[in-house]
Amino acid sequence: MSDYILDLRKIVGHRPLLQVGASVIVENHRGDILLEKRADNHCWGYVGGSVELYEAVEDTARRELYEETGLIARELTLFGVFSGEGMQYVYPNGDEVSNVDIVFLCREYEGTLRKQESEVEQLAFFPADSLPQPISLPNRIPLARWLAQKKF
């Protein structure tokens, strides 16, 4: 979680905050998607995190991708901006957020896959027709749109 959000939490406690995130849906050459099993809620989702004050969202996406997976994005393409009722979430610790998630696609990357021990339990690529369950709530709407674009 970003320092900015942590600082705000000291003031507002668990009350809902507007949280802007940048996320990355990574696809390999077969079109499989990289998902991580999160350590906080034990659900699967794509890579992402909170935007820091004055940080460009593309920089956040690249930073989070590297921190959580060891991969370096060579190219990011804007996939969509997701917000509203379906993007609200309550973290396991009780913190509530209304997410605005700016999601990028990454099909060109380099590096060696390795998980961030403090946040990620598992990392793996999955075919679109075999996604693991459960999917983390804030990732369900963007992943449904990604799945709708796939040809089965």
Cβ atoms of residues 67 and 115 within 8 Å: no
Q: Does domain 3-149 have CATH number 3.90.10.10?
A: no
Which pLDDT does position 36 carry in this prediction? 98
- The Cα–Cα gap between 60 and 74 comes to 14
Please identify which residue in the block is written with the tokens 């690249």: 62
Spatial strand order in the sheet of 120-126: 44-45, 33-38, 120-126
- Locate all alpha helices (DSSP H) within 25-112, ordered by sequence: 57-69
Residue-wise pLDDT for 103-151, tens only, equals: 999 999 999 999 999 999 999 999 999 999 999 999 999 999 999 998 7
Which pLDDT does position 152 carry in this prediction? 61
Residue-wise pLDDT for 30-51, tens only, equals: 999 999 999 999 999 999 999 9
Q: How confident is the model at residue 2 (pLDDT cuts 50, 70, 90)?
A: confident
Residue-wise pLDDT for 75-113, tens only, equals: 999 999 999 999 999 999 999 999 999 999 999 999 999
The residue-averaged pLDDT of 63-84 equals: 98
Spans of all domains in the chain: 3-149
Instruction: Please give the torsion angle defined by the CA atoms of residues 122, 123, 124 and 125, in that order, rounded to the nearest 10 degrees.
Output: 150
If residue 98 lies in a helix (H) or strand (E), which one and from where to where? strand 96-111
Cβ atoms of residues 2 and 52 within 8 Å: yes
- Name the pTM for this structure: 0.94
